[in-house]
Amino acid sequence: EAGVAQSPRYKIIEKRQSVAFWCNPISGHATLYWYQQILGQGPKLLIQFQNNGVVDDSQLPKDRFSAERLKGVDSTLKIQPAKLEDSAVYLCASSRDRAEGQYFGPGTRLTVT
Amino acid sequence: EDKVVQSPLSLVVHEGDTVTLNCSYEVTNFRSLLWYKQEKKAPTFLFMLTSSGIEKKSGRLSSILDKKELFSILNITATQTGDSAIYLCAVASHNFNKFYFGSGTKLNVKP
């Protein structure tokens, strides 16, 4: 079974630029999550999708972050414009059901200069 | 404010030792507590605990939840160098709509 795929693995941008991350969950997993993990901290949930609907996006900074999962499979997370404090690893995870453990992708390390 | 606190922050042991990692939480509408192991980048799922007092076990790892005292422990017996990682505790709340992670315990197992 293929794992959660994410791209790119690394990205360096200047502040005020925009960036997009892509995630393809494990086949058949209805729930998809985006997390932000700042160095030395635990992951912070940004948004949770159930199929193509948003379950929770209460911690997503909506003035600059957006996410979509239009066909209920893969997902894109966008930051526009980026700030220095957005430097972090962005993790995508999926689960077959929300009441089960999550499977994480390798993450994208974003550096904003 | 919902929070998950893990202790200790870091731990150094020698192979063969037994370790206990702690996770306490203050989260409204608790549903489950989850443990993950993070090596390099991606956390990997270890356990999900929903009921108090029922131990979950996988090989040398075991975990138990106390919903009255709001904490969980993760035990690792006969540690190996491959157990070196950051162990993350997470709490699911509001019908699994929200997940809160602790900052993790960094375990270093020396040969």
Instruction: Render each residue's pLDDT in chain B as its tens digit; 111 residues.
Output: 899 999 999 999 999 999 999 999 999 999 999 999 999 878 999 999 998 888 999 999 999 999 999 999 999 999 999 999 999 999 999 888 999 999 999 999 999
| Per-residue pLDDT at A1 exceeds 80 | no
In a domain, residue A113? The reply is: no
In a domain, residue A38? The reply is: yes
Cα–Cα distances in angstroms (integers) from residue A84 to residues A8, A62, A87, A111, B84, in the given order: 19, 17, 6, 8, 31
Look at the alpha carbons of B93, B99, B100, B106 in this order and tell me if their dihedral is positive or negative.
Answer: positive
Give which of A21, A35, A98 to mutate to test B binding, by max B Cβ within 10 Å.
Answer: A98
Q: What is the DSSP letter of A97?
A: S
Which CATH number fits the domain that encloses residue A16?
2.60.40.10
- Token digits of residue B76: 């690792």
| A-B Cβ pairs (cutoff 8 Å, strict) | 56
Please choose, from the candidates A112, A106, A102, A110, the residue with its C-alpha nearest in 3D space to the C-alpha of residue A45. Answer: A102
The pLDDT tens digits of the residues spanning A21-38 come to 999 999 999 999 999 999
Contacts of A32 (CB under 8 A, 6+ apart): A23, A25, A48, A49, A69, A75, A92, A93, A94
Instruction: Say how many C-beta atoms besides its own lie within 10 A of residue B42's C-beta.
Output: 20
Measure B111 CA to nearest chain A CA, in Å. Answer: 25
Range of the domain at A88: 5-96
Q: Give the span between the Cα atoms of A19 and A7, in whole angstroms.
A: 12
In a domain, residue A67? The reply is: yes
In a domain, residue A44? The reply is: yes
Residue keyed to tokens 């790119």: A8
Q: How many structural domains does chain A have?
A: 1
Q: Give the span between the Cα atoms of A41 and B110, in whole angstroms.
A: 24
Measure A7 CA to nearest chain B CA, in Å. Answer: 14
Q: Give the span between the Cα atoms of A99 and A48, in whole angstroms.
A: 13
Q: Tell me which architecture the domain covering B3-104 has in CATH.
A: Sandwich (2.60)
